[in-house]
Amino acid sequence: MTSNTNQVVLNIRFKVKPGKKKVFRNSLYSRVEVMSKEPTFINAIISDDIEKPDDLVIHEIWQGTKNSWLQEELPKPYRKKYEEILGDLLEDRIVCYLTPNGEWGSNLTNVSR
């Protein structure tokens, strides 16, 4: 098994304030529409947590490393506007940066098993 250290996966859990999920979802979808046009963007999946109805999870795959993502993607202007509204919509946000090392059913990360 090998890792793909030329990709970074972001797994982000959003704990949305009660009654704010629809507004947050619309904002998140708009941000994903913009970021999906970035040259290092590979894929994103947004999911509802079945057991925690106020939570949303996004799983993003990017070409590059955690450091390159933080330096190149995080400062983008469209993210600033998005970040400014999060305080009104979220109770918490948990971000995990991951390195892919196994994949089944697609070939987005190009890792061998």
User: How does pLDDT run across 52-66, given as a tens digit for each residue?
Assistant: 999 999 999 999 999
β-sheet with 7-16: strand ranges across: 41-48, 55-63, 7-16, 90-98
Answer yes or no: is 9 within a domain.
no
> What average pLDDT score do residues 86-113 get?
89
Residue at 88: amino acid letter: D
The answer as to whether 66 is a domain residue is: yes
Domain count, the chain: 1
Residue 113 is assigned to a structural domain of this protein: no
Does a structural domain hold residue 67?
A: yes
Domain that holds residue 79: 14-98
Local confidence band at 106 (pLDDT 50, 70, 90 cut-offs):
confident
What confidence score (pLDDT) does residue 109 get? 86
**Residue 9 dihedral angles phi and psi, to the nearest 5°:** -110, 130
User: Does a structural domain hold residue 39?
Assistant: yes
Question: Tell me: the pLDDT tens digits for 28-48?
Answer: 999 999 999 999 999 999 999
Task: Give domain status of residue 29, yes or no.
Answer: yes
Q: How many residues does the chain have?
A: 113
Residue 104 lies in a domain: no
Q: Is the predicted pLDDT of residue 9 greater than 80, yes or no?
A: yes
pTM above threshold 0.95: no
CATH number at residue 25: 3.30.70.100
Please check whether residue 45 lies inside any domain of the structure. Answer: yes
